[in-house]
Amino acid sequence: MSKSVENIISNIVLVSGPSKGGKSKWAEYLVQDHSNVTYIATAPFIDQPDWIDRIQEHKRRRPRNWNIIESPENLVDTISIINHSESILIDSLGFFVYNNLQQKNNEWRVTELNLLKALKKLPNYIVIVIEETGWSPVPETYSGNIFRDRLGSLAQSLELISCCSWLVVQGRAINLHQISTKVP
């Protein structure tokens, strides 16, 4: 099954996978040769030693010349003001979903559609990191199920507008467009 013309000319690259699989490293690799990069870190500061160590590891890997935007309140507004000559790396969409978890399903759908519309409008090269959570046990809480389902749905919607989708597992990157068939 072929992709639509809209997707063939897309400038969006999707990078997904499980926790600690290498998603961020791969996404950084995909933009390493770009001269102007804006890195959007969606995670807020969490005062826990393990989290602080993880953030510091990410910061050490990033080139000093990258423009960094940390924990934006409104991702759609943030990406829409970035200079069109900049490449964009969004790491990652889990916190975007989490920050909108209180929304009712119809409100979330509007938020999701607004993000997709904003991304499709941009001429920038955009690499988006998104977590894969559906491989773990079913969450015990209602909010855990909502988070998992919304993140999975958002990943599928992003894949439809992406020129390339990478699955990063155990430190290995797999180009899904090369080895897969779209589910009808």
pLDDT, tens only, 52-99: 888 888 888 889 999 999 888 899 999 999 999 999 999 999 999 999
Distance CA 131, CA 129 (A): 7
Structure tokens at 52: 């602080």
Q: Is position 134 within any domain?
A: yes
pTM of structure: 0.91
pLDDT of the residue at 137? 82
Determine the residue type at 37. V
Q: Is position 37 within any domain?
A: yes
Q: Is position 150 within any domain?
A: yes
Residue numbers of the domain that contains 161: 5-179
Q: How many CB atoms lie within 10 A of CB 135?
A: 10
pLDDT of the residue at 1? 33
Among left, alpha and beta (phi > 0; psi -120 to 50; other), residue 20 is: left
Percent of the chain with pLDDT over 90: 73
Q: Is position 78 within any domain?
A: yes
Asked whether the beta carbons of 158 and 128 are under 8 A apart, the reply is yes
Q: Is position 184 within any domain?
A: no
Q: Is position 112 within any domain?
A: yes
Domain count, the chain: 1
CATH number of the domain enclosing 155: 3.40.50.300
Phi then psi dihedrals of residue 18, to 5 deg: -80, 170
Q: Is position 92 within any domain?
A: yes
Q: Is position 25 within any domain?
A: yes
* Under-70 pLDDT residues of the chain: 1-9
Instruction: Output the DSSP codes for 126-175.
Output: EEEEEE--TTSPPPSSHHHHHHHHHHHHHHHHHHHT-SEEEEEETTEEEE
